[in-house]
Structure 1
Amino acid sequence: MPLPKPPATRAALLSAADYESQSAPKTSRRAQKAAEPTSKLLDLHDDRAETAVAKAVPKPAAAPVSAPLARTPAPSGLPVKAPAAYPIAPAPAAKPKTSLGGARKRARSGGPAKLFVLDTNVLLHDPMSMFRFEEHDVYLPMITLEELDNHKKGMTEVARNARQVSRDLDGLATEGSLDPVAGIPLSKTGHREAGGKLFFQTQFLDAKAPSGLPQGKADNQILAVVQALREHHEGRDVVLVSKDINMRVKARALGLPAEDYFNDKTLDDGDLLYTGVLALPADFWEKHGKTMESWNQGGFTFYRIVGPLVPTLMINQFVYLETPGAAPLYARVTEITGKSAVLKTLKDYTHAKNSVWGITARNREQNFALNLLMDPEVDFLTLTGTAGTGKTLATLPCGLAQVMDERRYSEIIVTRVT
């Protein structure tokens, strides 16, 4: 669109007709110039134009007040086309608020939500497990609550988890309905990721343990509850969640769906993690023995190796070679320079004389961990492993030894993420 002519005087606004004349086709613009009167139109804000309008046009009667769309140019001998009023775009309609909880997830998954019956060991393993089932519902049998009450005393990890679960259940049940039909929204306490509901066993279920199983055992009572819920909720998936392998085996033997609890895992492919350990090939000494340099320093033996193995090594990585009938080799990579690497033998923490506050390594990996934990040159260390592999048991005595005995550090900070 070509630009209109500039205004003749300062602080003067261009008329809408100037814009229309510039945007019209050339033929129409020429015709309009021919039809223009000899007297030029006065500017919209010119005082003379306002005076001429006041003298020529009588004052009209009062009209309803409306929002002005645009100023009209001064009248002249020929009628001037009034500028078109630009329509005001309507304000966009506010989008309806959508919940980030279970409604969206339920629509994504499709079908009715599942009903997960939690075993007591799931709650004791992860006290936040109730809120990790997304849009699905959670059912707690009465025997589960009784077992939680039996585990809440003490200072152990299990006791702390049991008390936390009890506090969460109390927050959910406060001022809430325990109606077995309505349930309690799990997002009530602020856990927006939980879109399902919590159901307690508040009514008697005709739940009888299968014949041949003791009636008074807690596991068998939970199995009976799962069986009764499947009969009561036909067409809906009722799944038992348990960390007990035998419990899951018994459930599947009875035709009941059972699953393990894996929601506390942050990685699905744990095998892809860096292990920090490399097994040396069986012919390591034959390939590297001729070009290898070795020396003793500070009670440790050092080996400098070259060859295709060097590019695969990393600093502080452990290497080992266990050959039947020969002394094993356990070493750590301490230096990589070009095409050569230096290996340093380890301190044997499996022996009682090298114990740290009475703790000795039970296996090869614990020995590797203790060597790194007791090394002042290592500033940051991460240990990964399943529960019961000795991560905390190895870390705490090393920290106590370096704070209390060696005075290397001033304090120990212990945090736990649940």
Structure 2
Amino acid sequence: MPLPKMPTKPASKVDITTETKALPTRRKPKLTADSTQKKGETASPLIEKVNTPTAEPNVSSTKQAHSTKQVTTRHQKTGKQEKPKLFVLDTNVLLHDPSSLFRFEEHDIFLPMIVLEELDHHKKGMTEVAHHARQVSRSLDDLCAESGTIFDGITLNTLGHKEATGKLWFQTSKLEDALSISLPTSKADNLILTVVQTLQNQRPNQLVILVSKDINMRLKAKALGLNAEDYLNDHTYEDSDLVYDGSVLLPDNFWTRHSKEMESWVQSGTTFYKIKGPLVSHFRLNEFVYFEGDNPLYAQVKEVNGKTATLATIRDYTHPKNNVWGVTARNREQNFALNLLMNPDIDFVTLLGQAGTGKTLLTLAAGLTQVLETKRFTDIIITRATVPVGEDIGFLPGTEEEKMQPWMGALEDNLEFLHTHAKQESALQWERSLSKEIIQSHIKVKSMSFMRGRTFLNKFVIIDEAQNLTPKQMKTLITRAGSGTKIVCLGNIAQIDTPYLTEGSSGITYVVDRFKGWAHSGHITLQKGERSRLADYASDAL
């Protein structure tokens, strides 16, 4: 009997293909944003990632990384939300920002016992640090009073902070797991690191992160394979180059794209333009816009209403006929600054710029003009942060103004220039030739230490060296303004002498960000130095 012919295809392959075609197709499940989070992602915009565990951790760290990876994978498959992170706060964070307890949103906070001990040591005295320590202690006491027990964690939103949905945990037992490196246990920082190590071992399914303002503390945590981050909630800007300049260069095709349906009119010698276009949404009130070319434009944003903005041409203070106490603007930004300083509708002005850009000179000239000529203000009040560049020279004898006199060298230099310059100008009014004593009688030098509770009425207030002030100090000074008072803040964020402030956390950076766009405030960053060619070269080369 002849054998049957061989099949052209293997039977197994034919069966599998047939079975696969018969099965219904499955859609791949979508992963949510929460389920795709991995360990090591930044917790929130309040905190900057500093370090991650080292590539070769110890055995406990390896187990923790393995278990955490399993939990993350399980969350991706089930779609469950990742467990909130646990932030261990260093004492310096609480002393820096007393409200930091409520700045971590849905995440939990852990306070080691040594942190409470350090808070107790700092609570005595009249310094700002002592005040913050007492404020933190009161907040902790109020939280404990509202909670039944501290062993199950204290809900942070019980005092009305709705954004803080996490829990506060206190150290209630010994946490003494050995560190991978032997460190002295008598130091508070090392005890906090031990607590972080123990929590990391005890809670393998939760990311434990140390938050500290101390750079060396974060470096030690990095060496130990622990997560450590800086507290950046007080930072207005992450990059000093992103500070609001107060002026915008218009593109070459500005009129082409914004002249359609444009309206223009002249009122009291000022030309107004009502425009529509794509750039309107980026304009802010009192921001300066300029276009240089065959038909230059120097204007200020007076109104922004949806897709429509109103621009008004500014006064030209570069012309001698518009001089302010004999001083004329030497560049574009100085012209912008004088428009802000001489505008009666602007109550708050901030001027930033490197040394020699004319911040103090322009401000003092504008103040003298409005005090002695137009009589808009009664006096000029000047204050500044008394932070020495080098070693402190100790206590100074005399009254309040005598003690402040060594800090007012810039005031004396500019007054001398204005007085000498006024005498040389023959076309000036007789008021400008007043004696130096009469001019100085309208200038009051005050110390910041005695500003609490004061109210200034019809005063021209100058806050010099404002880059050395904290946001809280800036608030204290600005809220002293009464009816008819104008406040001008001067500073250079490149010359911060306070060791605990940076460009992003300085008080003047804070107020520039918070006041931009307000109808009665203005800001400009002076770019070009006008002191001397030596000072300009030193600013660029050194």
Q: TM-score, with normalisation over the residues of structure 1?
A: 0.49
More strand by share: 2
- TM-score of the aligned structures, taking structure 2 as reference length: 0.39
| Larger CA Rg, structure 1 vs 2 | 1
> Which one has the bigger helix percentage?
2
